[in-house]
Amino acid sequence: MNVLGIETSCDETAAAVVVDGTKMLSSIVSSQVEVHHPYGGVVPELASRKHIENIISVVDKALSTAGIDQKEIDAVAATQGPGLAGALLVGFSFAKAYAYALGVSFAGVNHLEGHVNSVFLESDPPPFPFVALLVSGGHTGLYYVKSHTEMTLLGQTRDDAAGEAFDKVAKMLDLGYPGGTVISNLSKKGDPGKINFPRPFLDKNGCDFSFSGLKTAVNRYIQEHSDKYKDEQNDIAAGFQEAVVDVLSIKLITTAKRQAADHVALVGGVAANERLRDRVKKEAAAQGLTLHIPSINLCGDNAAMIAAIGYHYLKEGRRSDMNSDVYSRVHI
Ligand code: KG4
Ligand code: ZN
């Protein structure tokens, strides 16, 4: 089954064609970084307007790259939520109209389930059940994954998401938006042990996270060293990143052990972080766990993961009707 996936939950306009939830024929992502960069974060109305400008050409490119004609699309899947309502509405409404015009099935899908399913687009996907850590700009959560569409939330952040913390620290250092890649690049030139920032929640057995205290500690350090922090920004970035990486990697591994899972997955935009990928690889190997991390292009928001989860919704008979609406918040 050829599924056209459409994703517009935040600041990426994306479309992809995926066969049977696993074989990616195309994945086109049009980034809006340049639009939002001057504002230090995503401006919702600008994101919606840009999606409207981009959506048709992105979908056309997804089809031409896949080498297929509209008539060969068997179903359309689009992100229904969570995300920015105005941004979601563009992709979701477009997808409904597209499916209606082609006379094919339509599924509105959960973005977070999409991220978890990104590992099934890789060559050696995990068997069920497995434990997944989803780390993105809007969410940080640990899931016990029983099937493509059934996952139990074991714990999540009580305040900022990990990616949001990266973005906010980058803003404090005047490094612009998005912060994850900038912080990760600066960290390579810094000493992760020079400034010791707090590791929140490491001593507790729970699966919840909290990054606001760490963010405040970085802010306090910058205030207290206002005369010289610019010279130290590589060490600040490296020290902050190390604290986040410590918390995320230890929580993922201890949770997997507690759940007696043999396979673990790391997904979402922050899973593109090299230091985090390396650490989780080492810790998983040391504990005899098999780790699954999607390639970098499948970590951040993309429509291939939406097409993949859409295939499973439709296999379960979960078609959405033309009256369905988007939702901005949800937990799974
Ligand atoms: O999954 P995603 O593309 O969008 C959401 O669903 O939120 O994640 C975006 C987040 C941003 O906060 C961005 O700063 C972060 O992922 N990110 C990174 C890296 N690349 C992107 N964080 C740390 N290191 C990176 N290399
Ligand atoms: Zn996402």
Domain carrying residue 68: 2-116+299-315
Mean pLDDT of all residues in 268-285: 98
Q: What is the DSSP letter of 194?
A: T
Query: Is 272 touching ligand 1 by the criterion CB < 6 Å?
Result: yes
- Tokens 């507790």 correspond to 204
Q: Is 154 within a domain?
A: yes
Q: Which of 8, 164, 166 should be mutated for ligand 1, with most atoms under 8 A from CB? A: 166
- The closest of 162, 8, 7 to 16, measured between CA atoms, is 7
Structure confidence at residue 265 (pLDDT): 98
- CA 262, 289, 271: angle at the middle one, nearest 5? 105
Going from the Cα of 221 to the center of ligand 1, the distance in angstroms, rounded, reads 24
Q: Is 323 within a domain?
A: no
Centroid of chain to Cα 292: 15
What's the pTM? 0.96
Atom of ligand 1 nearest to the CA of 179: 14
Going from the Cα of 314 to the center of ligand 2, the distance in angstroms, rounded, reads 21
Going from the Cα of 166 to the center of ligand 2, the distance in angstroms, rounded, reads 15
CATH code of the domain covering residue 225: 3.30.420.40
At 66-96, the pLDDT tens digits run 999 999 999 999 999 999 999 999 999 999 9
Q: Is 171 within a domain?
A: yes
Query: Is 268 touching ligand 1 by the criterion CB < 6 Å?
Result: yes
Maximum C-alpha span of the chain? 64
pLDDT tier at 312 (50, 70, 90 boundaries)? Answer: very high
Structure confidence at residue 6 (pLDDT): 99
Residue nearest atom 3 of ligand 1, based on CA coordinates: 300
Q: Looking at the structure, do residues 190 and 213 belong to the same domain, yes or no?
A: yes
Alpha-carbon span 43 to 32, nearest angstrom: 10
Q: Looking at the structure, do residues 105 and 150 belong to the same domain, yes or no?
A: no
Alpha-carbon span 264 to 248, nearest angstrom: 13
Q: Is 221 within a domain?
A: yes
Residue nearest atom 1 of ligand 1, based on CA coordinates: 269
Q: Looking at the structure, do residues 141 and 283 belong to the same domain, yes or no?
A: yes
Q: Looking at the structure, do residues 280 and 305 belong to the same domain, yes or no?
A: no
Kindly tell me if the per-residue pLDDT of 14 is higher than 90.
yes
Mean pLDDT of all residues in 308-327: 97
pLDDT tier at 332 (50, 70, 90 boundaries)? Answer: low
* Range in 34-38, 89-93, 150-154, 221-225 with the lowest mean pLDDT: 34-38
Going from the Cα of 12 to the center of ligand 1, the distance in angstroms, rounded, reads 12
Q: What percent of the chain has pLDDT over 90?
A: 92
Q: Is 332 within a domain?
A: no
Long-range contacts of 287-290 (CB under 8 A, 24+ apart): 287/253, 287/256, 287/257, 288/262, 289/253, 289/256, 289/261, 289/262, 289/263, 289/264, 290/126, 290/262, 290/263, 290/264
In terms of Cβ atoms closer than 10 Å to its own Cβ (0-12, 13-18, 19+), residue 274 is middle
Helix (H, G, I), strand (E, B) or coil at 226: coil
Strand partners, 140: 135
Structure confidence at residue 198 (pLDDT): 95
Q: Looking at the structure, do residues 58 and 129 belong to the same domain, yes or no?
A: no
Alpha-carbon span 308 to 297, nearest angstrom: 15
Mean pLDDT of all residues in 125-140: 97
Structure confidence at residue 331 (pLDDT): 53
The total of structural domains in the chain comes to 2
Centroid of chain to Cα 160: 14
Query: Is 7 touching ligand 1 by the criterion CB < 6 Å?
Result: no
Q: Looking at the structure, do residues 176 and 277 belong to the same domain, yes or no?
A: yes
Q: Looking at the structure, do residues 135 and 249 belong to the same domain, yes or no?
A: yes
Alpha-carbon span 132 to 156, nearest angstrom: 12
At 184-233, the pLDDT tens digits run 999 999 999 999 999 987 667 789 999 999 999 999 999 999 988 999 99
> Do 32 and 47 touch, CB atoms closer than 8 A?
yes
CA atoms 14, 15, 18, 24: torsion sign: negative
* Range in 63-72, 172-181, 239-248 with the lowest mean pLDDT: 172-181
Kindly tell me if the per-residue pLDDT of 8 is higher than 90.
yes
Query: Is 166 touching ligand 1 by the criterion CB < 6 Å?
Result: yes
Q: Looking at the structure, do residues 184 and 267 belong to the same domain, yes or no?
A: yes
Q: Looking at the structure, do residues 156 and 287 belong to the same domain, yes or no?
A: yes
Structure confidence at residue 37 (pLDDT): 86
Mean pLDDT of all residues in 229-252: 96
What integer best gives the mean pLDDT of the chain? 96
Q: Is 321 within a domain?
A: no
Structure confidence at residue 177 (pLDDT): 82
Query: Ligand 2 is a single-atom ion; what residues have CB below 5 A from it?
Result: 136, 301
Cα dist. 230→38, 223, 331 in Å? 20, 11, 39
Kindly tell me if the per-residue pLDDT of 330 is higher than 80.
no
Structure confidence at residue 113 (pLDDT): 98
Structure confidence at residue 13 (pLDDT): 98
Q: Looking at the structure, do residues 178 and 255 belong to the same domain, yes or no?
A: yes
Going from the Cα of 225 to the center of ligand 2, the distance in angstroms, rounded, reads 35
Q: Is 311 within a domain?
A: yes
Structure confidence at residue 203 (pLDDT): 65
Q: Is 310 within a domain?
A: yes
Q: Looking at the structure, do residues 160 and 89 belong to the same domain, yes or no?
A: no
Mean pLDDT of all residues in 229-249: 97
Query: Is 82 touching ligand 1 by the criterion CB < 6 Å?
Result: no
Q: Looking at the structure, do residues 199 and 217 belong to the same domain, yes or no?
A: yes
Query: Is 83 touching ligand 1 by the criterion CB < 6 Å?
Result: no
Atom of ligand 1 nearest to the CA of 9: 6
